[in-house]
Amino acid sequence: MSDMGGAETIRVGRRAIEVTHPGRIYFPGRPPVTKRALVAYYVAAAPVMLPYTRGRPVTLQRFPDGIEGEGFFQKETADWFPGWIPRATVPKEGGSTTYVLCNDAPTLAYLASQGCITPHVWLSRIDRPRHPDRLIFDLDPPRGFEQARAAARLLHDLLSRLGLASFVMTTGSRGLHVVAPLDRSADFDAVRGFARDAAAFLVARHPDELTIEARIANRGDRLFLDTTRNAYAQTGVAPYAVRAKPGAPVATPLRWEELDDPALGSQTWSLHTVLARIEREGDPWRAIARRRQGVGAAAARLARLAAGLS
């Protein structure tokens, strides 16, 4: 693996970030992506990305030697991280964990300089960690992207019928996330229960295409409507995060009508192309923070639908 030694210092806002081995190849290919290019991407993406990471504990998916090297997930903030990196200590069973909070562009750049290719963020913010402001359905299709596309449309239609606005993004891996913004009035137990009931409702009507079966061996080739991320300390990939896949694909928020594009795939947008998309079209999710909504009324509507009352 090519590995240019030395170090470079870049300025991001008021901070000086040292990038060691800036020429190290993180993503082989044509063109290859170096550590320097990864850091530069996160600096450029910061204005659209930070609204989705700010105030949320972050799990770091690190590949210090690039995607062909060993990768691992890191929750606890490393003791060598500089003091200006924002942190938050949250309880867990038997103790606590001190997470990074990715609140600003220098932090994004520093994490990339440490080999964090993908930040994964909580569905809640640190001021109310047990009350999520995001509900996520994770659609990871066993038979290709068309399966995820069809399931996302069914979810969108159902959530709309229940009075909930929802948003969709490619994961940069194999499928899609369907996300509903919340007003934080409900805790994780209530949100997870609603998500599970909504998934079960769709499975009952599309049993050959969808499943909520937990055991992989029992799913067959049906798409699993995964609601398990809707729990305390669980994470979802941050919008505009780079994934540790060949070609450096990016988790990319979409407009719902983009699902109609037959050329769309889960890895359509990459580090090489997504910044031009943002400059040209802006952020399709820019209104998500203003769509505060609760699950109580939606759960009541769902119960009536399931009972055949409306």
Mean pLDDT of the region 238-261: 98
Please give the model's pTM, rounded to 2 decimal places.
0.95
pLDDT for the residue numbered 4: 56
Cβ atoms 24, 65 nearer than 8 A: yes
Q: pLDDT digit string (tens) for 175-197?
A: 999 999 999 999 999 999 999 99
**What are the counts of helices (DSSP H) followed by strands (DSSP E) for the chain?**
6, 16
- Percent residues over pLDDT 90 in the chain: 93
Gap between the Cα atoms of 187 and 294, Å rounded: 11
pLDDT number for residue 289: 87
The alpha carbon torsion through 162, 265, 150, 137 (nearest 10 deg) reads: -40
What is the mean pLDDT of the segment spanning 159-165? Answer: 97
Average pLDDT, the chain: 96
The confidence score (pLDDT) of residue 2 equals: 41
Encoded amino acid at 229, one letter: R
Q: What is the pLDDT of residue 3?
A: 53
What token pair was written down for 276?
Answer: 């031009």
Element (H, E) at 33: strand 33-34
Residues 35-89 have pLDDT tens digits of 999 999 999 999 999 999 999 999 999 999 999 999 999 999 999 999 999 999 9
Q: What distance in Å separates the CA atoms of residue 295 and residue 199, rounded to the nearest whole number?
A: 14
Tell me the Cα Rg of the chain: 20
Residue-wise pLDDT for 286-307, tens only, equals: 999 888 899 999 999 999 999 9
CA dist., res. 222 & res. 152, Å (int): 14
Q: What is the pLDDT of residues 117-155, one digit of tens each?
A: 999 999 999 999 999 999 999 999 999 999 999 999 999
Ordered structural domains, the chain, with CATH: 7-122 (3.90.920.10), 134-233+290-306 (3.90.920.10)
The answer to whether the CB of 133 falls within 8 A of the CB of 182 is yes
The reply to whether omega before 31 is within 30° of 0 (cis) is: yes
Distance, in Å, from the CA atom of 62 to the CA atom of 85, rounded to the nearest integer, reads 17
Cα–Cα distance, 116 to 67 (Å, whole number): 11
Count of C-beta atoms within a 10 Å radius of residue 310? 8
What's the whole-number mean pLDDT along residues 215-224?
A: 94
Alpha-carbon distances, residue 60 vs 97, 103, 235 (angstroms): 13, 14, 11
C-beta of residue 93 within 8 angstroms of C-beta of residue 85: no
